[in-house]
Amino acid sequence: MKKLILVITIFLSVATAFPQGKRIGNEAEVQKKERMGWWVHDRFGMFIHWGIYALPARHEWVKNYERISDEQYQKYFDNFNPDLYNPKEWVRKAKEAGMKYVVLTTKHHDGFCLFDSKYTDYKATNTPIGRDLVKEYVDALRTEGLKVGFYYSLLDWHHPDYTIDGFHSQRVEDEKEYAKLNKGRDMNKYREYLHNQVRELLTNYGKIDLLWLDFSYPGENGKGSKDWDSENLLKMVRSLQPGIIVNDRLDLNEYEDGWDFTTHEQYKVSKWPEVNGKKTPWETCQTFSGSWGYYRDEYTWKDSKQLLGLLIESVSKGGNLIMNVGPTARGVFDERANASLAAFGNWMKYNSRSIYGCTQAPEEFEAPAMSLLTYNPETNRLYIHLLDYPLQNLVLPNYKGKVKYAQLLHDGSEIAVSARSAEDIKENEYPNDLTLSLPVRKPNDEIPVIELILE
Ligand code: GLC
């Protein structure tokens, strides 16, 4: 009996020390790390939400928010003619902003497809523009060497077999009505459609680097992994594109490998997110103004400093930022989006070294007052981002013996490093601090960066 108890105790302690979650595939941890290498390194991407909702120009959920019927929504399809669409220009702007990957909505929740799918007529090739807009986008990215990402909506408010629920544009107040409303709708057929379209996207456009599936809302009146058959969908995705990186919205969270990174939408995480006690690869997706699709009369645009703060803070906690642009119905970025992108570009031109290849700083380094740290483990350099530019002296708490050289990143000019003042040391108050002597005049950078070459 004693022996049995001992065996059980050992088993339980081993099992809790190494929790073995369920798995879909058999990729080893190191392989996953390798597969995600470029994404973790590059840190900064562009999201593009574009579709016929650019015509009403008041949010990509307009059909849902205003409960617009298919018939009423049809005018946006009939008039979709983005004559200025030139994805080369989009890609150039992404590149200038310092973004390394782009993710475009091939289909959003309204069901409209920017690509030439053989499974629907509800696609760009049947609108006045008459072109496969996804193909041109992929070509432009490839030519410029940026990574290619597809967003695909799991929801579909247009497909006749997608059952109506509380998230549907045709939702009703009385829950009991749904059974009647959904008579004749067959989710099996929709599921097949969804799988077919994802197969098309991952077969007809060459190598796709990233897939952003959106979203699941499991529960009594919702939809989740069973409705999408997420398990088989993911298997298919991985077999068609073995190198692809997939987000976490398939409702496969109980699997260790049911997703590659977590998605934190429109909020700042307080620390590096963990899943089952383990730090996870993560990305925050953010808008310039609150809406993903082009919104003409939206005025809550973030300023340059807030935008840069989003990027730096994400990297300082080991994550990525994907920043969204909603092109207009003519197919271009409007002047507000261009100005926001330029804010990134101006800063990244001189400071990208504190972003690419960087991550959270080792714990031994405390961030000086009003600053954010990032760290490049390859080069062993630490970056101090000054959110509030101090007057002349910046104290580095307990950095003594750790710094070989210090410079301003934007111009590579030396910064004098010294121990704390003789008086402080005499009092034996700060024996391990260092002080940096900064120029009085704030460098011409929204957020100046100090580069420390560490011992
Ligand atoms: C949400 C919204 C959607 C947007 C997405 C981006 O799930 O439904 O409109 O595409 O987030 O993260």
In percent, how much of the chain has pLDDT > 90? 91
Considering the domain architecture, whether residues 191 and 249 belong to the same structural domain is answered as yes
The domain total for the chain is 2
Residue 306: its H or E element: helix 304-316
Q: 320 in a domain, yes or no?
A: yes
User: Cα–Cα distance between 74 and 127 in angstroms, integer?
Assistant: 11
Q: Is the CB of 344 under 6 A from ligand 1?
A: no
Q: Are strands 320-325 and 282-287 parallel, antiparallel or unpaired?
A: parallel
Q: Is the CB of 295 under 6 A from ligand 1?
A: no
Considering the domain architecture, whether residues 334 and 415 belong to the same structural domain is answered as no
Which atom of ligand 1 lies at the shortest distance from residue 108's CA? 10
Q: Using alpha carbons, select from 295, 327, 300, 318 the residue that is nearest to residue 102.
A: 327
Considering the domain architecture, whether residues 403 and 307 belong to the same structural domain is answered as no
Cα 105 to ligand 1 centroid, rounded to whole Å: 10
Cα 429 to ligand 1 centroid, rounded to whole Å: 52
User: Cα–Cα distance between 134 and 124 in angstroms, integer?
Assistant: 9
Q: Could you give the C-alpha distances from 257 to 232, 265, 384, 385, 428, in angstroms and in order?
A: 13, 21, 35, 35, 52
Q: Is the CB of 265 under 6 A from ligand 1?
A: yes
Q: Could you give the C-alpha distances from 265 to 92, 215, 278, 281, 327, in angstroms and in order?
A: 25, 12, 20, 15, 20
Considering the domain architecture, whether residues 208 and 246 belong to the same structural domain is answered as yes
Considering the domain architecture, whether residues 250 and 202 belong to the same structural domain is answered as yes
Cα 247 to ligand 1 centroid, rounded to whole Å: 13
Q: Are strands 210-214 and 147-153 parallel, antiparallel or unpaired?
A: parallel
User: Cα–Cα distance between 225 and 235 in angstroms, integer?
Assistant: 13
Give the pLDDT of residue 423. Answer: 80
Q: Which residues pair with 373 in a beta bridge?
A: 384
Cα 55 to ligand 1 centroid, rounded to whole Å: 18
Residues of the chain with pLDDT under 50: 1-19
Q: Is the CB of 60 under 6 A from ligand 1?
A: yes
Residue among 110, 114, 265, 291 to mutate when testing ligand 1 (max atoms within 8 A of CB): 265
Considering the domain architecture, whether residues 253 and 401 belong to the same structural domain is answered as no
Q: 136 in a domain, yes or no?
A: yes
User: Cα–Cα distance between 115 and 237 in angstroms, integer?
Assistant: 18
Q: Whole-model pTM?
A: 0.94
Considering the domain architecture, whether residues 349 and 406 belong to the same structural domain is answered as no
Give the pLDDT of residue 11. Answer: 39
Give the pLDDT of residue 5. Answer: 47
Q: Is the CB of 256 under 6 A from ligand 1?
A: no
Considering the domain architecture, whether residues 118 and 161 belong to the same structural domain is answered as yes
Considering the domain architecture, whether residues 394 and 265 belong to the same structural domain is answered as no
User: Cα–Cα distance between 344 and 339 in angstroms, integer?
Assistant: 9
Q: Residue 401: count other Cβ atoms within 10 Å of its Cβ.
A: 8
Q: Which domain holds residue 310?
A: 5-354
Which atom of ligand 1 lies at the shortest distance from residue 49's CA? 10
pLDDT in tens, 145-155: 999 999 999 99
At which of 327, 354, 381 does a domain end? 354
Q: 388 in a domain, yes or no?
A: yes
Considering the domain architecture, whether residues 337 and 271 belong to the same structural domain is answered as yes
Considering the domain architecture, whether residues 425 and 301 belong to the same structural domain is answered as no
Task: Compute the 3-state secondary structure of the chain and give helix, strand, coil in percent, each to the nearest 5.
Answer: 30, 20, 50
Q: Using alpha carbons, select from 283, 277, 275 the residue that is nearest to residue 255.
A: 275
Given a contact cutoff of 8 angstroms between Cβ atoms, the answer to whether 381 and 427 are in contact is no
Give the pLDDT of residue 358. Answer: 99
Give the pLDDT of residue 8. Answer: 45
Q: 365 in a domain, yes or no?
A: no
Q: Output the six-digit token pair for 375.
A: 């760290």
Cα 343 to ligand 1 centroid, rounded to whole Å: 24
Give the pLDDT of residue 68. Answer: 98
Give the pLDDT of residue 20. Answer: 60
Residue 194: its H or E element: helix 187-203
Residue 443, domain CATH: 2.60.40.1180
Cα 109 to ligand 1 centroid, rounded to whole Å: 9
Residue 299, domain CATH: 3.20.20.80
Considering the domain architecture, whether residues 345 and 378 belong to the same structural domain is answered as no
Q: Using alpha carbons, select from 209, 256, 249, 245 the residue that is nearest to residue 230.
A: 249
CA-angle at 121, arms to 115 and 123, nearest 5°: 30
Cα 214 to ligand 1 centroid, rounded to whole Å: 7
Cα 348 to ligand 1 centroid, rounded to whole Å: 27
Q: Is the CB of 285 under 6 A from ligand 1?
A: yes
Q: 364 in a domain, yes or no?
A: no
Q: Is the CB of 157 under 6 A from ligand 1?
A: no
Give the pLDDT of residue 422. Answer: 79
Q: Is the CB of 101 under 6 A from ligand 1?
A: no
Cα 284 to ligand 1 centroid, rounded to whole Å: 12
Q: 143 in a domain, yes or no?
A: yes
Q: 362 in a domain, yes or no?
A: no
Number of residues that this document lists for the chain: 455
Q: Output the six-digit token pair for 91.
A: 């890609």
Give the pLDDT of residue 6. Answer: 42
Residue nearest to ligand 1 atom 5, measured at CA: 214
Residue 60, SS3 per DSSP: coil
Q: 57 in a domain, yes or no?
A: yes
pLDDT in tens, 6-59: 444 433 433 343 346 799 999 999 999 999 999 999 999 999 999 999 999 999
Which atom of ligand 1 lies at the shortest distance from residue 60's CA? 9
Residue among 151, 215, 251 to mutate when testing ligand 1 (max atoms within 8 A of CB): 215
User: Cα–Cα distance between 177 and 197 in angstroms, integer?
Assistant: 30
Q: Which residues pair with 395 in a beta bridge?
A: 435
